[in-house]
Chain A
């Protein structure tokens, strides 16, 4: 039973390029969350999606960042025109639809984005 799959594990982009991070939730999970972790910091919530629906994007920067979770395929976090401050580890987590209340989020291994 595969866990949450994120790719790539490491991504290097030059300033101004676009970064695309992918996340396939655990089998049977239809809720996806994206978090960002800066060095020496905890995880900061970015966005919560269900299939074809953004439920809560209160943590997303207003510009350059977008996320989707299409009917088919993985969830994508897209960062346009990356800047050095975007360098961080980006974690995806998933949970099942109608899962037991309070059940923990299952995290992927993260994508470590480095902007040069």
Chain B
């Protein structure tokens, strides 16, 4: 059974500093997603990582994937208050051609940026 672990579960960040959060998964997969969720809201897709060594960047966030280590990292540069949210990683179970199959989510990491 695929397991996805995220750590830490909660992170208090200081504005302007850099941080890295992690996502580990237990079995081979070739698709990893990062989503953001604000309290009481839906999930917003941030990144899709499909191959070993993939790196994607958007603003102050950069995500990377190491399929051999079964590890993805999300790096935050110069944290700002707007980044306060819960960040989920999700892993695809089966390499299905065409349509997506189900995703297994981690428990999420809640980031809080303080002045």
Contacts and interface: CB of A to CB of B under 8 A. Distances in A.
Given A41-B107, A42-B108, A91-B43, A104 B33 contact: yes
Contacts of B99: 31, 95-99
A69 to B, nearest CB: 14
Contacts of B42: 91, 107-110
Given A108-B42, A109-B42, A101 B97 contact: yes
Contacts of A45: 102-104
A98 B88 contact: no
Interface in A36-57: 40-45, 48, 56
A103 interface: yes
Contact of A44 (B41, B100, B105): B105
Contacts of B4: 42
Interface in A6-43: 31, 33, 35, 40-43
Interface string B83-111: 00000101010000111111111111000
A43 B88 contact: yes
Q: Is the interface of A mostly helix, strand, loop or mixed?
A: loop
Given A41-B107, A45-B104, A98-B98, A106 B45 contact: yes
Contacts of B44: 107
A105 B42 CA distance: 12
A48 B48 contact: no
A17 B80 CA distance: 45
A108 to B, nearest CB: 6
Given A43-B88, A106-B45, A109-B41, A95 B108 contact: no
Given A95-B99, A110-B42, A102 B105 contact: no
Interface of A: 31, 33, 35, 40-45, 48, 56, 58-59, 91, 95-99, 101-110
Given A102-B50, A105-B45, 16 more contacts: A41-B108, A42-B105, A42-B107, A45-B102, A45-B103, A58-B102, A91-B42, A96-B99, A98-B99, A99-B99, A101-B50, A101-B98, A102-B92, A104-B35, A107-B42, A108-B42
